């Protein structure tokens, strides 16, 4: 293994990724329970009621935290799967780039949607 391969392995693995995966799971679970319980308890029938509910600052913050944690959890999990199972380096890098672009696109879409509620 040459120096470049060693640097790549160090950069893409380790305790930091493990902590991101665990911390994001700890954040996602209570927020998911809160959001699902809120949806079950509050009688929201139409689009305007949903929009008003999500536009509340606390709910918007909960959605931002939820999606930030969810997307980081997805990134670490998918990245680890691709690093383990996509063996040709070119394929692995292309798939990692596609996953990164997809997750960044989803994050941007969520952010734009939530910001648009406050206009």
Write the Ramachandran bin of 13: left for phi over 0, alpha for psi from -120 to 50, otherwise beta. Answer: beta
> Has residue 15 got a pLDDT over 90?
no
- What's the average model confidence in pLDDT over 77-104? 95
**Angle of CA points 51, 57, 102, to nearest 5°:** 70
C-alpha to C-alpha distance for 17 and 24, rounded to whole angstroms: 11
Q: Quick one: pLDDT band at residue 4, thresholds 50, 70, 90?
A: low
CB 79 within 8 A of CB 73: no
Domain ranges (residues) in the chain: 3-116
Read off the DSSP letter of residue 44: -
In CATH, 3-116 is 1.20.1300.10: yes
CB 100 within 8 A of CB 40: no
């Amino acid at each position: 293994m040459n120096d470049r391969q060693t640097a790549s392995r160090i950069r893409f693995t380790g305790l930091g990724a493990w902590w991101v995966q665990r911390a994001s799971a700890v954040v996602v679970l209570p927020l998911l329970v809160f959001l699902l319980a809120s949806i079950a308890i509050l009688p929201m029938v139409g689009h305007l009621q949903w929009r008003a509910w999500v536009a509340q600052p606390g709910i918007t913050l909960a959605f931002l935290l939820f999606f930030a944690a969810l997307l980081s959890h997805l990134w670490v999990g998918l990245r680890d799967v691709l690093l383990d199972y996509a063996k040709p380096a070119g394929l692995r890098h292309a798939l990692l780039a596609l996953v990164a672009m997809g997750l960044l696109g989803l994050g941007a879409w969520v952010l734009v949607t939530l910001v648009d509620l406050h206009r």
